[in-house]
Amino acid sequence: MAFRPKIISQIPKLSRIGLRRMSNNNYKKLEDQFVKPDLDDRSYRYIQLPNDLKALLIHDSKADKSAAALDVNIGAFEDPEDLPGLAHFCEHLLFMGSEKYPDENEYSSYLSKHGGASNAYTGSQNTNYYFEVNHEHLLGALDRFAGFFTCPLFNRDSTDKEIKAVDSENKKNLQSDLWRLYQLDKSLTNAEHPYHKFSTGNFITLHEIPTSKGIDVRKELLKFYKNSYSANLMKLCVVGREDLDTLSNWACSFFQDVPNTGRSVPEYRSRMLDERSLQKVIHAKSVKDLKKLEITFSAPDMDLEWESKPQHILSHLVGHEGSGSLLAHLKDKCWANELSAGGHSVSRGNAFFSVDIDLTDLGLKHYEDVTHVIFQYLEMLRLKLPEQWIYLELEDIARATFKFKQKSSAASTVSSLAKQLEKEYIPVKYILSTELLRKYDADLLMKYLHSLTPENSRIVLASNEMETNSKERWYGTQYRVTDFTPYLLKKIRNPGLNPSLHLPRPNEFIATNFQVDRIEGVVPLEEPLLLKDDKVSKLWYKKDDRFWQPRGYIYVSFKLPHTQASIVNSMLSTLYVQLINDYIKDLQYDAACANLHLSFVKTNQGLDITLSGFNDKLTILLTRFLEGLKSFKPEKNRFQIFKDKCIRQLTNQLYEVPYLQIFSVYSSLINERTWFVEEKLEVLKKLTFEQLVAYVPTIYEEMFFEAFVHGNMKYEEAIEVDSLVQILIPNDIRNFQAKNGRLRSYFLPQGETYRYETKLQDSQNLNSCIQHVTQLEAYSEEISAKASLFSQMIHEPCFDTLRTKEQLGYVVFSSSLNNHGTANIRILVQSEHTTPFLEWRIESFLQSFGEVLESMSDKDFEGHKDALCKSLTQKYKNMKEESSRYAAAIYLGDYNFTHRQRKSELVSQLTKEEMREFYHNSIVGPNSSKLVIHLQSQVKNDKLDESNLDATKYPAGESITDVGEFKSRLFLAPVRQPSKKFEVHTPRL
């Protein structure tokens, strides 16, 4: 389900009866002792309400955001066969008002006005609802949220509208290979098990078919809700600043009236993958240029073995990417580029283990040989396992990860815990620590491994050139099913051993030193220190003084002017980065297994390295990586494989859902040295290996870099990082302008509107997309503050008007948008409607918002300011969040490390009159400047009524037909300037 918009109204005054009920403690305490991470300062209580609903309450005295989630242990598997999508439809409808709060927009409005947001999803066996809100407003949010489960309205008008919303959500996914292949896999399983069902639903399943059969969907919905939403099947989780007694009383007061019908948790005893489903090859035709092999085994259900996790151990081994691994061998054979593996439980007694491989062109031709190698690897494991040291490694990693686990967002915390609580076979005191490995069970591991046989397997082979003879019902995916060939069966039943395959070596990156020298009473610095600033580099450093964790973060941003100087250099840089990541895959994977994360990416300024994780081995990892960069020599066969892969990736970008494509189009129009996907493809196809060989030695010429070291790391280690990176400098020639070589955006002429129209590459996609951007002026903190407040004010009304009321489409989004030197407001809509119609509706919304602004009370205006300021000044939840924010300021070059606090101060001073003036001058006035992008479907939809559209007015503005000519007429905006002058810091010895 779409992320609901953020928003508020006043907390209602509770009646005397309400106040009396709030103080009752008519609940049973089940647990208050939990296994927690070392630095978890929250307290927990698990209770049972009189109606058997169980709740986990979390007291967090420092929480900026409070949150709640409720998980119902009923999902799409309970859809009636003749009403696919009913559970998902029910999830949508619960947002649309309750007896106490009948306005269908009340819940989302309240959250948005108080810095909050909400969401929900329907799973196979659960439905999960959650929200977060500024901590002071938890009571009012819980009051509204509880109505979903005590007294929902299911109004007829809302029912009809949300059927269209569900249909739009489904249509968003119709051309998505992820959804298409998932549903195809489901459709070809045992029809006696509910896994085969179509769980999203659409207009046909929820309106046309039921109507033709005389079925009243609303009545069926009410019946489903009454039968399924029983209190004993619900788990609530709430986190707030209030003490546990208060939270417990609130939970009891608001949720004890949820009806308890005593319904038991559904069980599905049929075998999901029966004999008719196994030993088959499903040849599927993809929309994108995929080359994918997935082998799925019907495996034992290991959910009850949560302490030993045999499927986790096996996925670690099969998915390994280092020397001797399955992937390493397939890469040597030029058959594959990527591999993942994992086990998953579908329902009690039904589970599978899958190996998913991204094939090369050659690998697709040799898919039976690839399958043979998989079984050779499994055969090697059967002979070599069990090895307790592998379990102990994973146990150590899991223990360290849990011991030093940091907080995540309030919403994700409550949502995941509410779902976890459904696993009542896990003692609730361990619910925070389920990722730990607690028991070594060699026999169970071997039993699991021995179940992965040819007889228990099937294969999905996907490509856009597959021969097919059938069509899947819901997504129209073309496919063909064949039996395993005699040749394949013979090879995989007796796979033999492959000398290239062996167990991974012990992992050198597992941390052993977790020493942290904590200093009490320290006031955390808000900015890193500048340790060095010369012609070669800048070095920033911040010792962790906030979280006291044994973690580190190293960020290195290379300013390499010629990597983005031309489209040829840009594409050669893309290939270089992909080849480097392929070259150091072994190193990267070992590090990742030990929770050390290494990223090497291309940027619009050059290249970036980011490392994070336990600091014990972080500089060792950086050293090894830089040595790899230094020693790298391109190989012709890998060049061709990654050139083909990169061509596929770029081609596939043109087949993404429209709303994911449109920002790239916008960026190519508004930024210098930025190119369209089609232009990149044309150049990439012509690049040669010889060009890459000639280019690689020049990459680090004229290099300037900025490094940032943060965490449990010493000053001397920061200096070491700077000196280590300097091994890449090829000569002593310097480009003194390199440090300022940042990308810039173009200014649109004041008062002008431009439009860019283009057709979607995917001729079958029903949806168009429009991005309506109002360019404000050159970026400054002042204009950014106004844009952010305006975005806060229109966020919920935009969603409510265009998505809920006008039903334009499932994807509706608005935000402020800062480019490389300009500030902007954008509204994006993906819809079956034509883009001129969408432009009209967006313009109408913006025009009508003036009335909202004029009539907005001082209290509501101050509420919007308060919500935004509190969101801007939230405390850091974890070290990664703090590090990333500092790194972003370094990358932008403004070094505005406290920009959120500064923006909050500016927002707090804005007046309603200033915002009215901003609206009339910059948004709707004659001086407003706009760039509207129309990404248009090739499918004509004659069923939609657009008769009121004035075709003489929309599409508006001057059409951009020659992008180069358009850019050549525009001025460039200045890049952001440093917020202040930083002096080089010399530490006291």
∠ CA 441-352-277, nearest 5°, is: 140
The answer to whether residues 612 and 596 touch, using CB atoms and an 8 Å cutoff, is yes
∠ CA 618-623-627, nearest 5°, is: 150
732/536 Cα distance (integer angstroms): 9
655/937 Cα distance (integer angstroms): 12
702/588 Cα distance (integer angstroms): 28
- Give, in order, the Cα–Cα distances in Å from 891 to each of 142, 821, 976: 40, 14, 11
Examine the residue annotation and report whether 91 is marked as an active-site residue of this protein.
Answer: yes
The answer to whether residues 350 and 186 touch, using CB atoms and an 8 Å cutoff, is no
976/250 Cα distance (integer angstroms): 48
589/436 Cα distance (integer angstroms): 21
Burial class (CB within 10 angstroms; exposed 0-12, middle 13-18, buried 19+) of 765: buried
825/135 Cα distance (integer angstroms): 28
Provide the H-helix boundaries in 5-55.
16-22
Give the torsion sign (CA, 608, 614, 615, 619). Answer: negative
36/433 Cα distance (integer angstroms): 7
406/881 Cα distance (integer angstroms): 11
Query: How many C-beta atoms surround the C-beta of residue 226 within 10 A?
Result: 12
Q: Which helix (H) or strand (E) holds 363?
A: helix 361-365
Joined together, the tokens standing for residue 465 give 């050139």
Instruction: Give the single-character DSSP code of 566.
Output: S
Q: Which helix (H) or strand (E) holds 332?
A: helix 326-332
10/106 Cα distance (integer angstroms): 11
Residues with Cβ within 8 Å of 653's Cβ and at least 6 positions away in sequence, in order, are 661, 664, 677
Instruction: Give the single-character DSSP code of 970.
Output: S
532/155 Cα distance (integer angstroms): 65
The answer to whether residues 643 and 575 touch, using CB atoms and an 8 Å cutoff, is yes
User: First and final CA of the chain: distance in angstroms?
Assistant: 56
Joined together, the tokens standing for residue 668 give 């190519």
The answer to whether residues 254 and 53 touch, using CB atoms and an 8 Å cutoff, is no
Burial class (CB within 10 angstroms; exposed 0-12, middle 13-18, buried 19+) of 141: buried
Query: How many C-beta atoms surround the C-beta of residue 851 within 10 A?
Result: 9
Joined together, the tokens standing for residue 616 give 């014990």
Which entry of 31, 78, 91, 307 is annotated as an active-site residue? 91
Q: Among 342, 264, 274, which residue's Cα sits nearest to residue 302?
A: 342
Query: How many C-beta atoms surround the C-beta of residue 157 within 10 A?
Result: 10
Return the SS3 of 623: helix
Q: With b meaning 16 or more CB within 10 Å and e meaning fewer, what string describes 808-819?
A: bbbbbbbbbbbb
Burial class (CB within 10 angstroms; exposed 0-12, middle 13-18, buried 19+) of 965: exposed
Residue whose structure tokens are 């819901």: 474
Residues with Cβ within 8 Å of 143's Cβ and at least 6 positions away in sequence, in order, are 11, 12, 100, 254
Backbone angles phi, psi at 122, to 5 degrees: -110, 115
The residues annotated with a catalytic role in the active site are 91
